[in-house]
Structure formats: C-alpha cells, structure tokens
Chains A and B, each alone.
Chain A
Amino acid sequence: MPRLRTIRRIYAVFFVSLFFVLIFLSSFKNLKGYDTDLFLELDPLTALTTLLSSGVLFKGLALSLLIIVPTLFFGRFFCSWICPLGIMNQGLSRFFTGLRLSQKQNINQYRTIYRLKYYILTIMVILSGFGILQTGLFDPIALITRSVVVSLFPALGQSHIPISDKAIFFQGGVFIALLFLAVMLANRFMTRYWCRVLCPLGALLGLMALRAPFRIRRDVEKCTDCGRCLRDCQGGCDPDGALRISECHVCMNCVEACPDGALHYGVSKPDSALQQPLDINRRRVLEISVSAGIFAPMAHSSITHVSHPDSRVIRPPGSLPEADFLGHCIKCAACMKVCPTNVLQPALFESGLEGLWTPILVNRVGYCEHHCVLCGQVCPTGAIRPITIDEKVGKPPKQAPIKLGTAFFDRGRCLPWAMDVPCIVCEEVCPTTPKAIWYHKVEKVGRDGRLIVLKQPVVEPSRCIGCGICENKCPVQDKAAIRVTSVGESRSKQNKMIL
C-alpha cells in the first residue's frame, strides 16, 4: 500500500492542477458546461457568510457540504488535500525554509499568534450578519482565484506566452499582485504563515473539526518524546504533546515520521494522550464582536452607491441591486476571467471601501458584449444572476432589455458637434435595434465658406442599454466624447433619470 503522504500528495497535485485547468477553461471558447467555480463553491466560508448576509444558500454553494460534513468527522483535511492556496504555500515553505532539523522542529511548534485567524473569522462572520460581506478579502479560494485572474494570467500574456487572443489589463492589478506575492513570501518566515495565522477558512474548518472522532492520536506509552513528528508538521498542531485538533491539517506526516509507531489516525485508544481544547481568548472574541457590531452601522452610514448613486458604478448585466450585490459578491474575479472584452475591472473605491475589487465596467478598456451572459454563468454567489440572452437583450415591446446605465454625449469633445468633423462611429457600433444612437443631419458653412454636411449624433435614452461599446470605440481616445454612467440601470429603483 502506498504511503499516506504519497496519497495526500497525489490529491494535492490533482486539486491544484484542477484549479488551474478550471480557471483556464473559464472563457467563451472553452466554457462548455464545466463547473469552473467548483473550488469557490466547495468553500464553506463563502457559503456561511453569504448565507448570513443574504439569507440564501445559492445554488452550487450547497457543494460546500461536501467539505463541511467530512470535516465534522475527519478533521480539517481541506487545507492540505484540496485548498490550492494551502498546497502552494506548503510547496513554497519547503523551498523557502531550507532548515536544519532542530529548526524545523522549532518552527512547527504551536504559537499564540495562530489565534489571529479566529479573530479574523469572527470579524468576517459578524460583519456578514450585518450584510457587510468582506470574506472575499481573506477567503483563500477567493484570494487565489482573484490573484490568478487579475495578476498571474495577464502576466503570462505580458511575457509573450500565447494564452489569450488579446492583452489583458486590470486597474489596480498591481495591488492584488503585491498582496499575492506577500502571501507567498510570508512562507519565508514560517511554514504556511497564511494558513496558520491568517486564514479565516482554516479557522472555520478548525472549529468544525473540534469534535471530530477521527483524528491524530498519540500513544503515551510508546512515545519517547523524540520530537520527530514535528519536523514536517504542516499545521503546527503539537502532535508531540497535547494535540490541537483545530490546527491539524490531517497531513499524516507525523504518523509516518514516528519511529515508534506511537501516532495513529483514528479513534481513541486506552493509552491515547490528552488533547488541547481550542486556544482562543474569549475576552478578545467578545471585544471584536462588539466592535464589529458597532462598526457595521457606522459603515452603512458612509456614502456608497447604495445611498448616493455613483456614475462610475456600472455593474455587469444581471447584477443584483447594489445593497444585495455587496452582500453577495466575494470579489473572486471569476467574472473578470470569463469576460471576453476585459471590460470587467476590479473596483477601487468607486462603491466605497466595501466595494473594493468588486466588478465594475470600465468602458475605456472594453464594453459589454451584446449577446454575452457569461459573467452571470460563472458567478458562484449569484451577485450577478445567471440570465439568458433573451432576458438580457429583451423582447420589445413586451420585455425590456437589461440596462446597465445610459450613454451621454460630451458635445464639447464630440467631433461632429464640436469640430465639424464627420464621425458617428458610436452610431455604427450601437447594437440595439433600432439603434439607440441616431443623428441630426445638419448643413453648415465652414470656415472656408464651403458647405459641410454633418451627422450629429444623439442618444435616445429609452433605447440605450448602457453597454458602453460607443464609449469604447469612440475615436477620442483619452476621455471619450460619449460616456456611459450608471443612471437608468435596471437593477436600481433610485438611480433613474427619465420619467
């Protein structure tokens, strides 16, 4: 029979590969019914916090039960067997910490700083109870998905590795890249720094594992206190003393390292050692909970797209109303990967601090492809509802199309309006039937006395769907002469203009 750690490594390599393959498949050409969100859907933290913030366990998030139920019985296995970020951290830790054996034993001991992740989890859970969903910042699956989509994948294109048809750019992508590198380099200071100290999903799984009947057990009669079990311990869970089940990743390294057969994985035996309860400070948890509870209404009273609509917060088609959207979006950037035109960009502070890295349309970069509904297909939490093409395009006069915003001409910049130069590219590319952009045909006498016939374009607001292709294709490069703002968006009752 192969060794347990070999089996674990096979699983680890399989799941990391699967993660990258699924992200690669997430495009118009390759997305043929594959569940490219699998990892995001397996994530119990996403399931729990979106359940708290929205009251709904959305569709595929039920798959998180596949992790939750086994964790209750077998411990926090996800971290070392499935989690792509955890497995990458583990691999890098081996590379970065080329340590002597005594140092390895030292670095893998439990430290009180490991409590931090429980406090982070507390903040995330309490805030989500108040409808403020910030799990995406710290959730490992959202973090790695976002990092790969926004940083790693475009970097391949920049390195001339032909992985997509066009060069992909993201606003503020450099911050996401730096954060990702920081998480990776933290392994330099401690094995799996992220997983042990910061990861709220690890904390949640640790809590679930507290009553697991199957766990690592140490036979006190056989153990000679040699400490070898600590050398490759991934969680830092003290298998040499009183085990801390909430820290144990069930990596099985200790079982195989023990020369005396004192460690086994399973149910308790008569000589099994005492184990430690959860090490958190209740006073800290209380402080944090109360602070988060006070913070939530404070946060709600800051100006966002919810209270005062912002022209720049143009959300993808099918997005929920802003308050619900923020209560669903985990900033995973899956929509940004699948978007064919690169229009979906991680927001900075357009929709307040809360909306950091949520998707918005930046029409100078791309535009919303008229017949494309892929972002809603891949959204794991339903922040962008899965819509049909008919729903998006509408069936006039009965059913109105989904409107993302409205286009406005800047007549001081528009060539036919301001400079007597023919153009109407916006009219040409307008995808609606009939076109939302039409034109006045005017005759003017030019500076040299010659007659000029011009077509001066106008927007018909009831037909405009805010797709942004006019802004994207406008030849006035830096600041387009026609620009879309969020007003008139279907999802909002307040952000309106025309009666």
Chain B
Amino acid sequence: MATTRRKKKSNLKQPMQTRRQLLKHIAVNSGLALGVGGVAWWRWSQDPVVEKITPVAEWKNYRVAPSNHYPVMAVIHGQQVPAMVRQGVDSLGGITRFINKGDRVLLKPNVGWDRQPEQAANTGPELVNAVATLCREAGAASVWVTDVSLNDPARCFSRSGIEKAAIEAGAQVRLPTHNDFVDTQMGGQLLKVWPVPRFFHEADKVINLPIVKHHSLCGCTLSMKNWYGVIGGKRNRLHQSIHQSIVDLASAVRPTMTIMDATRVLKRNGPTGGSLADVSFEETIIVSLDEVALDAYALRFLDLQPDAVPFLAMAETAGLGVVDWRSLNVVERQVG
C-alpha cells in the first residue's frame, strides 16, 4: 500500500547572525583569499615543469706533490704479494709519502664480476688486503673499498674474496646503493655530468688497484680503464667511443697512486674470463704514479704494442703521462 504522505516542509529558521560572526567569517575568508592568491603568485610559471637544480660535485685531485728523489714507477716481481707491495711503495718513498695520519682512503679494485680469484677477472684479494694494511699502518682514519660492479655487487665482493680480505685488514667495504650516487662533473670531451658514488667525494686519497686483463673492444683493461667502475648510470654507451671515454675518465680521476695486479693475468676471453686455461701467472706487482706509463708497460703481459691501443697516445696528448715508460725513472726489483 503506497502512502501519499507528503514530506513535511521544514519551517526551521536560521538563528540571527551576529556582527561578531559576520566579521569572523569575513576575516577567515579574506585570509583564505589571500592564501590562495599568495600560492598562485608564488607558484605561477610560464613553464609547465619546475626545473630541479641538482648540485653537481667536482672531482678532487687526490695526488701528492711530485718529487724528483723517488722513481715514478716500481716493477716488483715475486710471489709474496704483501712483501711485493711494501717493497714497491717503499721504492716510491714509502706509504707515509702518500697517506697522512687521519686520511680517509678509498681503494678502487676491479670487482666487476661474480668470479673467483683464480679466474683473474677481478683484482686479487691479497693485493687489496696488503694495500689496506699499509694504509692502516700509515694511520689512515678509515680505509674504504668500493666499485660499481657489473654483476650483482654483493656476489662480486663476496665471491672475489675481496670483502673478506678487506675486512681482515680493517677496511670497510662500501657497496654503492642507488641512493649513493652523486652527479659529478667529469669535464671531458665526451663525458660531462655522470653519477659517481659519494664515497669518492668523501675520501681524501684514492688508490687505484687495477688488474691486467684482455678486453675485446679495446684490447686490454688496465689502470685507466678501471675508472669505468667509478660511474653509474647507463655507462654501457661509453663503448661507442671507448678510447676517448677512457681518456676522459682518467683525466677526471687523478689517483694518489696506482698499484697494478699482474700476478694472474687473463690473456683471453676477457674481461669476464671463467676458464683457468686463459689465466697466466706473471707474478708481478707494479706501483706507479703515471698511469699512462704503467698501462704502456703492462701491455707486455697481453703481447700488445702501444700503437695497437689508441687511448695511450690520446692520454699522453691530454697530458696524463708518458707512453715511453723507459724515459722515466723506473725501478725493477725481485722480492723473495
């Protein structure tokens, strides 16, 4: 049964508005109007997006003053990596020439791949351990080890033995997470602004610890090529002009010194390797203040000549060092 009762009309009257209420509403609304207008004035723009200005960091120069008293490069042959490293660094003036008390030292080995030390795709853990120990002895406040790996970083540092070797020497492994990269001015011909782990900007001294390896595109991976591991982002585009990229990187990062691992050398199938048949024992450690000379010297392990590797001449032109290492003060010693 449908009811036809009409809804009762409401006859309730609004209470009288007082002057106080009226003034209060006017005041509140004026405030809101001002606020809205203010926000509009503050944020009005002809551009549809706000350009974010992210600070761009600059590279420090980690080098120490050059000296004529000491050789520029020391080539040490032997079997005991710690003794070889010590001998090499001592030939160049001892660790205290390079590391001051309280320095924060960053070691940059090549830890690009999830491989074991025997496969010689990464810098040997003994070298990392020996250099970290030297730095600690010299009174470094902290020693950090980092790299921007190609494979999963946790696996690379763990399976290369470098994590263990670093911790045993009192160093700290700092794996760059996606929050750790800082836009940095590379100032190169090709490379302008690239993301770099902030540890490089926090450190006082940087020591490059490369390994000698074969590389199909540019023939070899030596000390200057090792700086691929300081940049993040889409760095695989660098291969399109690999020699200029290497020179740009080496111009941007000026390390305190470079200690090259040529104990095991990956002769073929680099830079990943994998087969022990491709590894040859060369039992050499080279400490150098001139990366160009160092790389030129290290070509012998891969049976290459300097003219086969264009980045060397380009680096010399850029003033990074000299290709003709024989013209420099170089010592060669046998340890043990």
Contact = CB atoms under 8 A, between A and B. Distances in A.
A475 B150 contact: no
A429 B274 CA distance: 12
Given A28-B152, A432-B274, A165 B216 contact: no
B114 A428 contact: no
A120 interface: no
B178 A433 contact: no
A376 to B, nearest CB: 16
B34 to A, nearest CB: 35
Contacts of A431: 272, 274
B180 to A, nearest CB: 9
Binding site secondary structure of chain A: loop
B33 interface: no
Contact of B155 (A162, A340, A425, A430): A340
Contact of A165 (B178, B239, B274): B178
A424 interface: yes
B215 A423 contact: no
A162 B240 contact: no
Contacts of A372: 114, 152, 155
B177 A429 contact: no
A474 interface: yes
A369 B274 contact: no
B179 A160 contact: yes
Given A433-B269, A433-B275, A475-B239, A428 B216 contact: yes
B152 A340 contact: yes
A473 interface: yes
Interface residues of B, number: 30
B273 A341 contact: no
B269 A475 contact: no
A371 B159 contact: yes
B274 A433 contact: yes
A430 B154 contact: no
Interface string A148-165: 000000000000101011
A479 to B, nearest CB: 15
Contacts of A439: 216
Nearest to A342: B152
B154 A477 contact: no
A439 B215 CA distance: 13
Contacts of A428: 215-217, 239, 271-272
B234 interface: yes
A369 B152 contact: yes
Interface in A433-474: 433-435, 439, 455, 473-474
A464 B8 CA distance: 83
A372 B153 CA distance: 13
Most A Cβ at <10 Å: residue of B152, B158, B175: B152
Most A Cβ at <10 Å: residue of B114, B151, B158, B242: B151
Given A165-B175, A433-B273, A424 B155 contact: no
Given A165-B178, A475-B237, A455 B154 contact: no
Given A165-B177, A427-B216, A477-B234, A28 B155 contact: yes
Most B Cβ at <10 Å: residue of A164, A165, A421, A430: A165
B118 interface: no
Contact of A475 (B155, B216, B217, B236): B236
B278 interface: yes
A100 interface: no
B155 A167 contact: no
B236 A425 contact: yes
Interface residues of A, number: 36
Interface in A113-169: 160, 162, 164-167
Nearest to A427: B216
A425 B239 contact: yes
A370 interface: yes
A439 B239 CA distance: 15
B280 to A, nearest CB: 15
A422 B217 contact: yes
Interface string A458-499: 000000000000000111010000000000000000000000
A215 B319 CA distance: 86
A341 B154 CA distance: 11
A475 B278 CA distance: 28
Given A28-B152, A371-B114, A430 B177 contact: no
Contact of B217 (A164, A424, A433, A473): A424
Contacts of A430: 272
B145 to A, nearest CB: 15
Contacts of B215: 428
Interface string B137-173: 0000000000000111111001100000000000000
A329 interface: no
A421 B240 contact: yes
A351 to B, nearest CB: 26
A431 B112 CA distance: 12
B236 A434 contact: no
Contacts of B150: 429, 473
A433 B278 contact: yes
Contacts of A162: 177, 179
Given A165-B175, A370-B114, A475-B234, A341 B152 contact: yes
A429 B242 CA distance: 15
A423 B154 CA distance: 27
B154 A473 contact: no
Interface in B186-239: 215-217, 234, 236-237, 239
Contacts of B216: 424, 427-428, 439, 455
Contact of A422 (B151, B152, B242, B269): B242
Contacts of A415: 240
A127 B110 CA distance: 53
A59 interface: no
A473 B149 CA distance: 12
Nearest to B273: A433
B147 to A, nearest CB: 13
B258 to A, nearest CB: 22
Interface in A390-428: 415, 421-425, 427-428
Interface string A162-192: 1011110000000000000000000000000
Contacts of A475: 234, 236-237, 239-240
A165 B153 contact: yes
A260 to B, nearest CB: 48
B168 to A, nearest CB: 18
A284 interface: no
14 contacts: A28-B154, A29-B154, A369-B114, A371-B159, A422-B217, A423-B217, A424-B239, A427-B217, A428-B216, A433-B278, A435-B269, A473-B150, A474-B236, A475-B234
Question: 10 nearest interchain CB pairs?
Answer: A433-B274, A340-B152, A433-B275, A475-B236, A425-B236, A475-B237, A165-B177, A167-B178, A421-B240, A166-B178
Interface of A: 27-29, 160, 162, 164-167, 340-341, 369-372, 415, 421-425, 427-435, 439, 455, 473-475, 477
